[in-house]
Amino acid sequence: MRFQVMRDSQARLAAGHWFTSAVASRRAATVGALAAAACGLVVTACGSQSPPGTASPAGTTAAAKTASSSPSADGVDACAASALKVSISNSGALAGQAGGYLKFTNDSRTPCRITGWPVVTGLTAKGTATLFRHAQSTMFGAWHYVAPPPVITLQPGGSAYAVVVSDDHPAGNNANCPAPYVRLRVSPPGGSGSVVVSAWLPDARSYLPACTSVNGSPTAETSTITTLSSLPH
């Protein structure tokens, strides 16, 4: 009898272990099924997606993919400084401002795209650098900003323009304007690199003035890139 009781106890214990294992296995299967269903509903939560900041299977990060999409829909890249010849044309003085047209000429063998404000910095003979403001309108060149700025595709040899101007008279109690800008460091919008050109205004027979406003802030500014046909010339 004792032997029979022991056998019954061991059987009950084994059955208990089997039941616990079965429940755990079923619970794991249920969790796995729910995870698979979640993956099916929300793709970005699945393990097949690369974690933020890591390379994709092809070895390209999301940031690199964004950078590589810079060409426009027609496959034309933004104009780089190395592809452009920059000079000042149509210079002069009018209504308290002196300036000229920055001329951007495509000096390469392939088309490039240009739009928006160029980055222009005025340099004095002593090396003082002043970043030009983004103009909303200019008396010289009679230019007014209209959003969005035009997107201009420059064919080889083609040109686009931006107005650069500055007040040419001292403001307030200032007797004189600071020393003028003798050079301009110019970077095309959306492109790379920069070029340095002379700030001499042939028709005004002077360098681009560096006059300030009444509160002492620089008055030099630049327009967006535009076509010559949209400017008086």
Tens of pLDDT, residues 59-99: 333 333 333 335 565 789 999 999 999 999 999 998 889 99
The pLDDT score that the predictor gives to residue 87 is 96
Indicate the number of domains in the chain.
2
User: Quick one: DSSP state of residue 128?
Assistant: -
**Domain range for 180:** 81-230
Instruction: Tell me the CA distances in angstroms from 197 to 63, 142, 148, 200, 228, one per residue in order.
Output: 34, 24, 28, 9, 20
Percent share of the chain, pLDDT over 90:
57
Asked if the model's pLDDT at residue 124 lies above 70, the reply is yes
Residues 126 and 220 in one domain: yes
State the number of CA atoms in the 13 A half-sphere of 131 facing the CB: 6
The pLDDT score that the predictor gives to residue 9 is 42
Section 98-125 average pLDDT: 97
Answer whether residue 172 is part of any domain: yes
The pLDDT score that the predictor gives to residue 65 is 31
Answer whether residue 180 is part of any domain: yes
Percent share of the chain, pLDDT over 70:
68
Mean pLDDT of the chain: 77
Residues 49 and 130 in one domain: no
Q: Is 17 helix (H, G, I), strand (E, B) or coil?
A: helix
Residues 130 and 16 in one domain: no
Boundary residue ending a domain (13, 45, 67): 67
Residues 98 and 156 in one domain: yes
Answer whether residue 74 is part of any domain: no
Section 111-118 average pLDDT: 96
Residues 93 and 179 in one domain: yes
Residues 116 and 218 in one domain: yes
Residues 125 and 62 in one domain: no
Answer whether residue 75 is part of any domain: no
Q: What pTM was computed for the model?
A: 0.68
Residues 120 and 188 in one domain: yes
Answer whether residue 215 is part of any domain: yes
Asked if the model's pLDDT at residue 39 lies above 70, the reply is no
Asked if the model's pLDDT at residue 154 lies above 50, the reply is yes
Rounded-to-integer distance, Cα 143 and Cα 11, Å: 97
Answer whether residue 12 is part of any domain: yes
Residues 198 and 119 in one domain: yes
Section 161-169 average pLDDT: 96
Residues 171 and 58 in one domain: no
140-161 b/e (C-beta count within 10 Å ≥ 16 → b): bbebeeeeebeebbbeeeebbb
At 232, the pLDDT band (50, 70, 90 cuts) reads confident
